[in-house]
Chains A and B, each alone.
Chain A
Amino acid sequence: MSQDVVVTGLGLVSCAGEGIGAHLAALEAGAPARTDTERFAPYTVHPVPPLALDGQIPKKSDQRQMEPWQRLGVYAAGLALDSAGVNADAALKSAMHLVVACGGGERDTAVDGAILTGLRDAADPGAYLNEHLLNDLRPTLFLAQLSNLLAGNIAIVHGVTGASRTFMGEEAAGTDALRIAQARIASGQVECMLVGGSYSAERPDVMVVHEMGGYLRAKPFRPVFSRDGEGEAGFILGSAAAFLVLESVAHARSRGATILARLAPVASDRTRREPGAVARSLEHLWQQVDLPAPDRVLSGATGVGGITAEEGEALARIAPEAGITALGDVIGHSLEVTAPFGAALAAGLVAAGKARDVAVTIVGHRRGEGMIRVTAA
Chain B
Amino acid sequence: MTKQPLRDAKGRPLVAVTGLGIVTSLGQGQADNWAALTAGRSGIHAIKRFSTKGLRTRIAGTVDFLDTDPVVAPALSQRFAEEAAEEAIAQAGIGSAGNFPGALFIAVPPVEMEWPQRHALAEASGQDGPITYTDLQRAAASRRFDAWHDLFIFGSVADHIADRLGTKGSPISLSTACSSGATAIQLGVEAIRRGEVTAALCIGTDGSVNPESLIRFSLLSALSTQNDPPEAASKPFSKNRDGFVMGEGAGALVLEDAESARARGATILGYVLGCGEKGDGFHRTRSSPDGAPGIAAIRAALDDASLTPDAIDTINAHGTSTPENDKMEAMGCAAVFGERIGRLPISSNKSMIGHTLTAAGAIEAVVSLLTITHGRIPPTINYAVPDPAIPLNVVAEARDMRVGRVLSNSFGFGGQNTCLVLGDEPA
Contacts and interface: CB of A to CB of B under 8 A. Distances in A.
Interface centre among A139, A189, A209, A269 (most CB of B within 10 A): A209
B88 interface: no
A116 B145 CA distance: 18
A98 B131 CA distance: 40
B170 A183 contact: no
A368 interface: yes
A149 interface: yes
A168 B415 contact: no
A214 B218 contact: no
A117 interface: yes
A281 B133 CA distance: 37
Interface string B155-167: 1101100110000
A176 to B, nearest CB: 5
Nearest to B58: A130
A165 B187 contact: yes
Contacts of A180: 172, 187
B285 to A, nearest CB: 7
B279 A163 contact: yes
B162 A270 contact: yes
Contacts of B215: 130, 133-134, 137
Contacts, number: 252
B340 interface: no
A370 interface: yes
Contacts of A218: 141
Given A127-B51, A164-B279, A139 B153 contact: no
A130 B152 contact: no
Contacts of B136: 116, 204, 208
Contacts of A313: none
Given A113-B133, A137-B216, A163 B417 contact: yes
A113 B155 CA distance: 27
Contact of A270 (B170, B191, B281, B413): B170
Contacts of B90: none
A113 B132 contact: yes
Interface stretch (A152-160, A220-228, A316-324, A325-333): A152-160
16 contacts: A112-B133, A127-B51, A131-B54, A146-B175, A155-B279, A156-B415, A161-B279, A163-B297, A164-B416, A167-B172, A167-B174, A175-B170, A189-B193, A209-B149, A212-B148, A270-B170
Interface in A140-174: 141-143, 145-149, 151-153, 155-156, 159-170, 172-173
B119 A137 contact: no
Interface in B35-54: 50-54
Given A129-B211, A169-B154, A270-B159, A146 B177 contact: yes
Contact of A214 (B130, B146, B174, B293): B146
Interface residues of B, number: 86
Interface centre among B131, B156, B174 (most CB of A within 10 A): B174
Contact of B149 (A103, A151, A169, A215): A215
Nearest to A164: B279
A98 B174 CA distance: 13
A146 B159 CA distance: 21
Contacts of B174: 165-168
Interface stretch (B78-86, B109-117, B367-375, B388-396): B109-117
Nearest to A168: B154
Interface in A170-190: 170, 172-173, 175-176, 179-180, 183-184, 187, 189
B97 interface: no
A139 B222 CA distance: 11
Interface of B: 50-55, 108, 110-113, 115, 118-119, 121-123, 128-134, 136-137, 140-141, 143, 145-150, 152-156, 158-159, 162-163, 169-177, 183, 187, 190-191, 193-194, 196, 211-212, 215-220, 277-285, 293, 297, 412-418
A194 to B, nearest CB: 11
Contacts of B140: 208-209, 211-212
A306 to B, nearest CB: 16
Closest 5 CB pairs of A and B: A126-B51, A152-B414, A169-B155, A213-B149, A204-B133
Interface of A: 43, 65, 98, 103-104, 107, 109, 112-114, 116-117, 119-120, 124-127, 129-131, 133-134, 137, 139, 141-143, 145-149, 151-153, 155-156, 159-170, 172-173, 175-176, 179-180, 183-184, 187, 189, 204-205, 207-215, 218, 268-270, 272, 364, 366-368, 370
A162 B156 CA distance: 30
A124 B110 contact: no
B121 to A, nearest CB: 7
A174 B142 CA distance: 31
Contacts of A370: 170
B137 A207 contact: yes
Nearest to B139: A208
Contacts of B143: 214
Contacts of A212: 140, 145-149, 152
Contacts of B173: 167-169, 173
A152 B149 contact: no
A166 B177 CA distance: 9
Contacts of B217: 142
Contacts of B147: 212
Nearest to B163: A272
Contacts of A120: 122-123, 128, 131
B78 to A, nearest CB: 13
Contact of A117 (B115, B130, B137): B130
